[in-house]
Amino acid sequence: MASDNRKQAVSARVERWVRTDVQALKAYHVPAIEEHVIKLDAMENPYHWPSAMQQAWLDALQQIHVNRYPDADCSQLKQAFREAFHIAEDYELLFGNGSDELIQLLAMAVAGPKRTILAPEPSFVMYKMIAQFLQMNYVGIPLGTDFSLDVSAMLKAIETHNPALIFLAQPNNPTGNVFGEEKIRRIIEAASGLVVIDEAYTAFSSSDGYSLLADYSNVVIMRTLSKVGLAGLRLGYLIGHPGWLEEVNKLRLPYNINVLTQASTAFALQHVDELFKQTAQICADRELLKERLSAFDNLHVWPSEANFLLCRTLEHDAAEIQRLLLARGVLIKSLHGSHPLLNNCLRITVGTPEENEVLLRELAALLAS
C-alpha cells in the first residue's frame, strides 16, 4: 500500500514538473542482445585487433591511474589526431562522448526562441531528437525517391527558416549515399548559420569535406571513431575554426572524455594503419555482400559508401523479416515506419565474411517462404 502511494506521489510530481513535451517523448531504445546473436544492426566494425596489438594495448593500460581526473582538454590526444589525420594547426579540435554529445553541444550553442535546425531526411535521428530536447524548431526536407538531396527544397527552406544549424551527413545514415560536393557547397553558401558536415562514415567513402573548412567560415566537420573499431570507447570529434569551437567548448561538461578512452584512443592512433586495413576490408566485404544480396529477386539493394547496406523487401514485411532473422540468430535493423521513404526497408551492417554467409543463408530461406 505504501509503495502504491509512493508511486502515485512520484507520478504526480513528474506530471507537474517534467516538461510536457519530454513526457510525450519516447526514449531511444537499444535492445539487449544475447551473446550468441550475430549483430549486424549498429554499424560496428566486426573485426577485432590482432592479438599482439590487443596485448600491447592491455600493457599500456596498466600504466594508467584511474584515481586522477583525465586531461580535461585532451591535449595529447589532440596532437595524436593531428598527426594521424593530418589536421592543420589552423583548426581546433573538440571531443565528445560520441557524435551524439557533439550534436547536442552544437545545438545548445545556437538554441534560442524560434531557432531552427534543418536537415534532409531520412537521416540520423539524433538531429531531430536533440532539436526536440532543446525546444528548437526542426525542419526535415525529404530526399528524392533515389535518396538524392533536393537542393531546391533545401535552399527554399533556408530562405524561409534561416536555420541556425544545418546537418548534412556524408555518407548519409541510413541510406548510405553521398550528396555530392557541388550540392553541399550551394547549401553552405546560402546559409547564414552553421553547417555541420557529419562524416561518421567517411572511412568507407571517397567523400571528404575537410577542404571545405578552408573555403567557408560557417562549416565544421564532425567525425567519430565508433565505426572504425572503437565503438565501445564512444569518441566523436569536431574539426573547425577556433571561433566556433571555442564557443561550443564552453558548454562541454568537464572531463567528458575519461582517462581510459583517452589512453585507448591514443594507442589506437599509433596503429592507425591497422584501422585503415580493417576499413578497407569492410569496403571489399560490402561490395561482395551487395552483389550477393542483389541476386535475390525480391530484394532491392541500394549502393552504399558506408559500412552498411540499405535494402527493401519487395514481397515481405520488413519488420517480420527482422523478427524472424533474430529468431535464427542474426540481428539487423528494420526501418519500416521510421519514414515514408523507408517503407519495408532493412539496414544491414557489413559483418565478417563468415557472419555475412550466415546472414545470406538465413535471409534466403526467409525470402523464399
Q: Please check the confidence at residue 33 and state whether its pLDDT lies above 90.
A: no
Question: What is residue 167's DSSP assignment?
Answer: E
Looking at residue 312, its pLDDT comes to 97
More confidently predicted of 22 and 169: 169
Question: Strands (DSSP E) along 66-193, which ranges?
Answer: 92-97, 116-121, 137-142, 165-169
* Distance (Å, whole) CA 349 – CA 352: 10
Where residue 168 falls among pLDDT bands split at 50, 70, 90? very high
Where residue 1 falls among pLDDT bands split at 50, 70, 90? low
* Distance (Å, whole) CA 248 – CA 35: 39
Domains and CATH numbers, the chain: 18-49+274-367 (3.90.1150.10), 67-270 (3.40.640.10)
Q: Please check the confidence at residue 23 and state whether its pLDDT lies above 90.
A: no
Measure Cα distances from 182 to 64, 149, 167, 187, 231 in Å. 46, 11, 16, 9, 31
Closest by CA position to 204, among listed 289, 274, 305, 284 = 305
Looking at residue 28, its pLDDT comes to 76
